[in-house]
Structure 1
Amino acid sequence: MILNNHVLAADVGGTNTRMAIVTGNGEILTFLKKSTHCKEGRDEMIKFLVSFARETIEKSKLPKEKICGMGIGFPGPLNAETGTIFNPPNLNGWDNVPLRDILEKELRMPVSIENDANAAALGEWEVADISERKVTLRCPISKKKFTWDLFCYFVEERDNSPWPME
């Protein structure tokens, strides 16, 4: 029996940040939403993220030991392997910030960071009803990057794809 099968999940956006405690089978136990403090600068936003994470854990009433780690969807560009943020267009002062390392030190748990657009696409892929094997790709006009490899992954799974995969 795995006792720490809960995850602290975060979606950091330019307007709002959402955090939740989620079970290993995807059940949301606690969900909170707050305005993102991005205009106050990098250091204040990091303090906000740490404080909000602690509040979310506290409101869940779960012992922290039952939470195996934190997963964050964060505006890119970023390096998901190192958890380093590289100057997102709407966040000033975030060039080469080791956010994963900072949060791991403050929260004392493993942290994984992924580009928010990629995280949303993967989440949709995982939980959506794909019985008809249709995939909808929503790309608003912006400076956001959606990786071609991930796009090909979706198209590759579709029957009778009109796009060549080579």
Structure 2
Amino acid sequence: MSAGADQQRLNPEERANLVAFIDGELTEVESRSLTTKLTHSATARREVELLKKTWDVLDSLPRPTVTEQFHERTLTYVRSLELRAESRYAPAKKWGETFLKLAVCLLIAAAGVASGFAVTRQVWPVPEERVIRDLSLAEHLDEYLEVGSFEFLDELKNSAEFGTPP
């Protein structure tokens, strides 16, 4: 059995927006949506009227008067709570800051070591590279020593057996 249009109740989101609606703090779209619902539903209108009456009754109650000491004590108490919370977390904060500083120092040191290593590798000659570059010379060194001189090699090059004829 479904409720008629005049018996529609407000959903929780609309009910949460009622105070803002009464105070005129809703956006135009939200206000228009709630106004449409209130126009068509007597139950929703009763909820708004009940809320307005509740606020009126609360406004009619006498307001308590407080002394200046109350303000001072309250503010002092709140400040002491803040200080207590700060002091509770102070050791952890100190360790956190120390850890952060140490991490930054280690990061800077690692970057320095890495860049120093890279520069040294580029500038400093590696002895193995020369050996690798001269490997073919080393493999045929005995034959080169038997030749004796470059003049002999030039003669071979220009001879009919090994090279182009003169």
The interval holding the TM-score normalised by the smaller chain is under 0.3
Instruction: Kindly name which structure, 1 or 2, has the bigger radius of gyration based on alpha carbons.
Output: 2
For normalisation by structure 1, the TM-score amounts to 0.18
**Which of the two has greater helix per residue?**
2
Structure of higher RCO (CA pairs closer than 8 Å, 6+ residues apart): 1
For normalisation by structure 2, the TM-score amounts to 0.18
